[in-house]
Amino acid sequence: MSKHDALLKAADSVLLLVDIQEKFRPTIAGMEALIDRSEILVRSAMRLGIPVLATEQYPKALGDTVPELRERLPDKQAYFPKLRFSSYGCDALRQSLEASKRKQVLLAGIETHVCVLQTGLEMLAAGFSVYVVSDAVSSRSLADREAALRRLEKHGAELITSEMAVFEWLREAGTPEFKELQSLIKQASR
């Protein structure tokens, strides 16, 4: 990726929510903050016309995507069930992503060292620009989370925050979108 390609572009972005499921709530470090940051990303993406994809790891046992995110997504939202750890290994998700013709993928979700890591590495290998939203990913262990972030960055993923994503998608203040999302941006600064 050249330095000129590093900035996010709303027209080339996809937000991928990786396995942010109810059964993980009691076990993931910082889960409530992760959900809050993911909600900011979802609301911003929806307002800016950025596709949102969501996977669910073995939903029969681990449950649905958390209600805080489900209520922000459209009724027709597809949730891609999977057994493979990598979301990119889910045929239906991969086809949906490729059909979008977008090359910048923002990853939020859990667990950073398993599903997020394997998704990011496979997407990098497939030629996507991968942006891991560091304040919207976690694991049961913070040591596992940190090791996964270092590994993803070493292999070419960009580490960003939810606030960085929203500002890069917006690009400028004073627009109707900025005015609408301003409260989310302030919330992201807390």
Q: What is the pLDDT of residue 2?
A: 44
Nearest to 24 by CA among 66, 71, 79: 66
Domain boundaries, the chain: 12-188
Supply the pLDDT for residue 190: 59
- Known catalytic residue at 90: no
Question: What is the architecture, at CATH level 2, of domain 12-188?
Answer: 3-Layer(aba) Sandwich (3.40)
SS3 letters across 32-49: HHHHHHHHHHHHHHHHHC
Among 36, 82, 90, 135, the active-site one is 82
Global pTM value: 0.95
Give the C-alpha separation, 174 to 112, whole Å.
35
Helices (H), the chain: 31-48, 59-62, 67-70, 91-100, 117-125, 142-154, 162-170, 176-188
Q: Single out the catalytic residue among 19, 90, 103, 135.
A: 19
> Which pLDDT score, from 0 to 100, does residue 1 have?
44
Q: Which of 36, 90, 103, 115 is catalytic?
A: 115
Q: What are residue 138's DSSP bridge partners? A: 110
pLDDT tens digits, the chain, 190 residues: what are they? Answer: 444 468 999 999 999 999 999 999 999 999 999 999 999 999 999 999 999 999 999 999 999 999 999 999 999 999 999 999 999 999 999 999 999 999 999 999 999 999 999 999 999 999 999 999 999 999 999 999 999 999 999 999 999 999 999 999 999 999 999 988 988 877 666 5
